[in-house]
């Protein structure tokens, strides 16, 4: 029996939002309180870079380059990576820095970019709650997690024709086999389209 390989269990595919769902999630309310500015800056940066939630909540203020539009991330194993983000995400971060963070930091001194009501670093648990609440308010029918935004980032890049190696670097995966799971999502989507629309599907 020692020479017999055990059967391989199937790896579950990560859940990703479609582009329409992301658009609904990122639609910022007209009333922009410091908390709203913070929450949407975090959402835009997470979807724009694919950053892990643990990396997002621990970002220092000086990690974001708002002229070069990129963020410096300290990932797993203290490995640093530089990930670009779009101008819209940059605008959301700038709005938060100008009109949101000063109201949250109060008189404290802290290096963290995204702050809680107490002026301390945002926690992972609290951000999970915020993302899910925003998803409910956006009318999305299923629970939303920060990890789904990371999956959506990777899936939408690959669907748009991005290089797998480039996506691996942006996600901070040490092994490209971890990134390759996203190619399976696109394959499953194409199979679904084929079954639905092909006369012999």
How far, in Å, CA of 18 to CA of 192, rounded?
Answer: 15
pLDDT of 4-47, one tens digit each?
A: 655 555 555 558 899 999 999 999 998 899 999 999 999 999 99
**What integer best gives the mean pLDDT of the chain?**
85
Kindly state the average pLDDT of the residues 165-169.
83
Q: What is the pTM of this model?
A: 0.81
Confidence tier at 65 by pLDDT (50, 70, 90): very high
The answer to which of 28-32, 64-68, 171-175 has the lowest mean pLDDT is 171-175
Question: Which has the closest alpha carbon to 46: 22, 66, 27?
Answer: 22
Question: Which has the closest alpha carbon to 145: 133, 130, 128?
Answer: 128
Tokens of 107: 């008189």
pLDDT of 124-157, one tens digit each?
A: 999 999 999 999 999 998 888 898 998 889 888 8
How far, in Å, CA of 50 to CA of 69, rounded?
Answer: 14
Tell me, rounded to whole angstroms, the distance of Cα 80 from its chain centroid: 17
The answer to which of 37-46, 76-85, 174-183 has the lowest mean pLDDT is 174-183
* 80-84: strand order across its sheet: 64-65, 70-74, 80-84
Catalytic residue IDs: 52, 76, 147, 150, 173, 182
Q: Considering the domain 19-197 in this protein, what is its CATH number? A: 1.10.443.10
Tell me, rounded to whole angstroms, the distance of Cα 147 from its chain centroid: 6
User: What residue segments make up the domains of the chain, in order of their start?
Assistant: 19-197
Judged by DSSP in three states, 195 sits in: helix
Does residue 118 surpass a pLDDT of 80? yes
Does residue 96 surpass a pLDDT of 60? yes
């Amino acid at each position: 029996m020692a020479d017999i390989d055990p059967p391989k269990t199937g790896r579950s595919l990560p859940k990703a939002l479609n582009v329409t769902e992301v658009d609904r999630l990122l639609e910022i309310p007209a009333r922009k309180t410091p908390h709203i500015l913070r929450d949407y800056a975090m959402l835009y940066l997470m979807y724009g870079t694919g950053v892990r939630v643990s990396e997002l909540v621990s970002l220092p203020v000086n990690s974001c380059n708002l002229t070069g539009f990129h963020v410096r991330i300290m990932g797993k194993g203290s490995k640093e990576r530089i990930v670009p983000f779009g101008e819209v995400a940059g605008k959301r971060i700038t709005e938060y820095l100008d009109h949101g963070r000063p109201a949250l930091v109060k008189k404290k001194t802290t290096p963290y970019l995204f702050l809680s009501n107490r002026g301390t670093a945002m926690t992972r648990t609290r951000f999970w709650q915020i993302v899910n609440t925003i998803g409910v308010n956006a009318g999305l029918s299923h629970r939303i997690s920060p990890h789904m935004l990371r999956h959506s980032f990777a899936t939408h890049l690959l669907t748009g024709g991005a290089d797998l190696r480039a996506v691996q670097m942006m996600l901070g995966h040490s092994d490209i086999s971890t990134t390759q799971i996203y190619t399976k999502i696109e394959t499953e989507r194409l199979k679904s389209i084929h079954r639905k629309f092909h006369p012999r599907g």
